[in-house]
Structure 1
Amino acid sequence: MIIAQLFEVGMLLCFGFSWPIACVKAYRGRTTKGISLVFALLILTGYAFGIIYKILSGKVNFVILAYIINFTMVFVYALIYVRNHRLDALKTKTL
């Protein structure tokens, strides 16, 4: 069973490497253009389901850490979206 867990971690790592890059780009961009809150919320929901599955199935192992890390990164991405939305609103008011 450890092989299946390693493949699951590999999948999560591949997804996880993109989130820090997306967070930095969104933070530096200071705008919501080109990013989607709905997309981030769907991914958050997917990671939450993965975490809940691990807990309810009794399969809590090292893999859950990858789910938690990815969930946290996507949550930060969503927070950056909220920040950028406020910045966009301020830009609109000043124009």
Structure 2
Amino acid sequence: MSIFEIIMLLCFGAAWPFSIYKSYKSKSVEGKSPIFLVILLMGYVAGILHKKIYHYDNVIFLYMLNFLMVSTDLILYIRNSKMSKNQCEKS
């Protein structure tokens, strides 16, 4: 278990609740990139697989937590995108 890996995941993870809250409240896709979110998800999957296959330790739970938060932000992006599209169609 690396203290630097833990710090990196905690720092990345600390930012996601704010992003999720902003996405939920604003109901906007402004400033969001679904491609960026998918790339991050792929990175977290790689980290999880590495922990499962080569070096299992409890840091895997930080990878999974971050994966869930990024997934939540992506789901909110999809929801907000659909809401925005529906509003444009009504106008």
TM range (shorter): over 0.9
1:48 aligned partner: 45
In the alignment, the residues of structure 1 paired with residue 11 and residue 29 of structure 2 have an alpha-carbon distance, to the nearest angstrom, of: 24
Q: Does 1:68 align with 2:56?
A: no
1:86 aligned partner: 82
In the alignment, the residues of structure 1 paired with residue 28 and residue 83 of structure 2 have an alpha-carbon distance, to the nearest angstrom, of: 7
The number of residue pairs the alignment matches comes to 91
1:33 shift after superposition: 1.6
What is the letter of the counterpart of residue 26 of structure 2? G
In the alignment, the residues of structure 2 paired with residue 30 and residue 67 of structure 1 have an alpha-carbon distance, to the nearest angstrom, of: 27
Q: Give 4+ residue runs of structure 1 displaced > 4 Å after superposition.
A: none
Out of 27, 30, 49, the position equivalent to 1:30 is 27
1:67 shift after superposition: 0.3
Instruction: Provide TM-score, normalisation by structure 1.
Output: 0.91
Output one character per residue of 1:50-87: Cα deviation in whole Å (capped at 9) or x when no partner.
10111111x11111111000000000000000100111
**After alignment, is 7-16 or 27-36 more displaced?**
27-36
Instruction: Provide TM-score, normalisation by structure 2.
Output: 0.95
Name structure 2 gaps, 5 residues minimum: none
| RMSD between aligned residues | 0.9
Name structure 1 gaps, 5 residues minimum: none
Residue identity (%): 34
